[in-house]
C-alpha cells in the first residue's frame, strides 16, 4: 500500500459504537481488514466519549504507517453543526455531555491530525450517499434514505448532487415526534408497558415465542413505519427508498404485517450495512 493512493479514513459514529476504516476512493471500497470497531457509552462524561471516539482512528493510523497526513471523514448523528464540527445533541438519549463542544478540535488533538483534514457529514446522508456511490442506485432521479436505530435518520439524494439530511426525525407525530415511534427506545418502552424487560429489538425478537403480545408490538411498529414512509414519499414525490440501520434487519417481519401497502413503494434494504456510511463519509473528499 503506497502513501499516495487516495485513501480516506472514514468513521461511522452511532449511539453505541464507533467504527473506523480505510476507504479506497478509486473504487469506493472499504478496506475490510483495516476496520476497527469500539463500543461507546453515549451517557458517559465528555472526556470518556471523546477518548472512545479517538481510539479507532489512532489504531487505523498506527496499523497503516504509510498513510501520511490522513483525511478523515466522519458520519455523525445530529443535531450537529457539520461545517464547524459543533455537537448540538441533547435529549436524544445519547451524547448530551458533548453539547456545544468543538468536536473537530477535540478529535484533532487526540488523534494528532490537522483539524482542517476532518470533515463531518450527517450519518443518514452518509448512509444514502454510500448506497448510491457503491450500490449503483444512481440510475434513478431521486432516492430517499431512512436509517432506523438509536435515532431516526432521513436523507434525500437527487441526481447531480450529494445526499443531504432531510432532518425529519422531529416531524410531529401522535403525542410526540416521528423518532420517538421508530427507534430502539420505542421497543424498550413498549415492552416495559407489558412488563417485558429488553434493551432493544433483538432481545424482543428472541422472546417472541414466549409472549404473544410481542406480535402486537411488532405490528404497531409496522404501522408507524408505514405511515412515515408514506409521509416521506409524498413529501419528496418519489417511491424509491433505501432503508438501513439495525432495526432494518427485521424488515421482513415488519413488511409481513402490511405487505400490500409496503409493496406500493420501491423499497430496498441496505446490502452494504455499515460500509455504506463509511463510504459516504469518505465521499466528502471525492
Domain of 61 in residue numbering reads as: 7-125+275-285
Residue 36's pLDDT band (boundaries 50, 70, 90)?
Answer: very high
Tell if the pTM clears 0.75, that is, is over it.
yes
**Which region among 127-136, 200-209, 258-267 has the lowest average model confidence (pLDDT)?**
127-136
Residue 4's pLDDT band (boundaries 50, 70, 90)?
Answer: very low
Quick one: 260 exposed, middle or buried, by C-beta within 10 A (0-12, 13-18, 19+)?
A: exposed
Note the pLDDT of residue 3. Answer: 44
Does residue 225 have a cis peptide bond before it, meaning omega lies within 30 degrees of 0?
Answer: no
- CA 127 distance to own-chain centroid: 6
Does pLDDT of 93 surpass 50?
A: yes
- Mean per-residue pLDDT over the chain, rounded: 93
Q: Are residues 144 and 258 in the same domain?
A: yes
Note the pLDDT of residue 86. Answer: 97
Q: Are residues 145 and 256 in the same domain?
A: yes
Mean pLDDT of 50-75: 92
Q: Are residues 150 and 262 in the same domain?
A: yes
Q: Are residues 174 and 118 in the same domain?
A: no
Q: Are residues 173 and 255 in the same domain?
A: yes
Q: How many domains does one find in the chain?
A: 2
Residue 71's pLDDT band (boundaries 50, 70, 90)?
Answer: very high
Mean pLDDT of 82-103: 93
Contacts of 59 (CB under 8 A, 6+ apart): 20, 36
Note the pLDDT of residue 1. Answer: 38
Mean pLDDT of 68-80: 90
Digit-coded pLDDT (tens) for 214-241: 999 999 999 999 999 999 999 999 999 9
Is 131 among the domain residues? no
Contacts of 21 (CB under 8 A, 6+ apart): 9, 10, 11, 30, 31, 32, 34, 35, 36, 60, 278
Is 244 among the domain residues? yes
Q: Are residues 196 and 214 in the same domain?
A: yes
Q: Are residues 279 and 267 in the same domain?
A: no
Q: Are residues 83 and 186 in the same domain?
A: no
Is 2 among the domain residues? no
Amino acid at each position: 500500500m503506497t502513501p499516495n493512493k487516495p485513501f480516506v479514513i472514514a468513521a461511522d459514529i452511532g449511539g453505541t459504537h464507533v467504527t473506523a476504516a480505510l476507504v479506497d476512493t478509486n473504487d469506493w471500497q472499504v478496506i475490510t481488514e483495516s476496520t476497527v470497531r469500539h463500543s461507546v457509552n453515549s451517557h458517559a462524561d465528555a472526556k470518556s466519549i471523546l477518548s472512545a471516539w479517538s481510539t479507532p482512528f489512532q489504531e487505523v493510523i498506527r496499523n497503516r504507517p504509510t498513510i501520511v497526513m490522513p483525511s478523515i471523514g466522519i458520519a455523525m448523528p445530529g443535531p450537529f453543526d457539520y461545517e464547524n464540527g459543533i455537537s448540538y445533541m441533547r435529549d436524544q438519549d445519547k451524547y448530551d455531555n458533548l453539547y456545544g463542544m468543538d468536536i473537530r478540535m477535540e478529535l484533532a488533538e487526540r488523534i494528532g491530525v490537522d483539524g482542517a483534514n476532518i470533515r463531518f457529514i450527517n450519518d443518514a446522508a452518509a448512509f444514502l450517499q454510500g448506497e448510491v456511490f457503491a450500490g449503483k442506485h444512481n440510475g434513478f432521479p431521486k432516492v430517499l434514505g431512512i436509517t432506523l436505530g438509536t435515532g431516526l435518520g432521513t436523507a434525500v439524494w437527487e441526481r447531480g448532487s450529494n445526499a443531504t439530511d432531510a432532518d425529519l426525525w422531529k416531524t410531529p407525530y401522535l403525542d410526540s415526534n416521528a423518532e420517538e415511534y421508530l427507534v430502539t427506545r420505542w421497543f424498550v418502552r413498549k415492552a416495559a408497558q407489558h412488563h417485558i424487560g429488553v434493551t432493544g429489538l433483538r432481545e424482543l425478537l428472541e422472546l417472541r415465542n414466549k409472549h404473544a403480545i410481542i406480535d402486537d408490538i411488532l405490528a404497531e411498529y409496522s404501522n408507524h413505519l408505514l405511515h412515515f414512509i408514506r409521509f416521506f414519499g409524498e413529501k419528496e414525490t418519489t417511491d424509491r427508498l433505501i432503508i438501513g440501520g439495525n432495526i432494518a434487519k427485521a424488515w421482513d417481519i415488519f413488511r409481513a404485517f402490511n405487505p400490500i401497502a409496503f409493496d406500493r413503494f420501491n423499497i430496498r434494504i441496505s446490502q452494504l450495512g455499515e460500509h455504506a456510511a463509511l463510504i459516504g463519509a469518505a465521499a466528502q473528499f471525492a
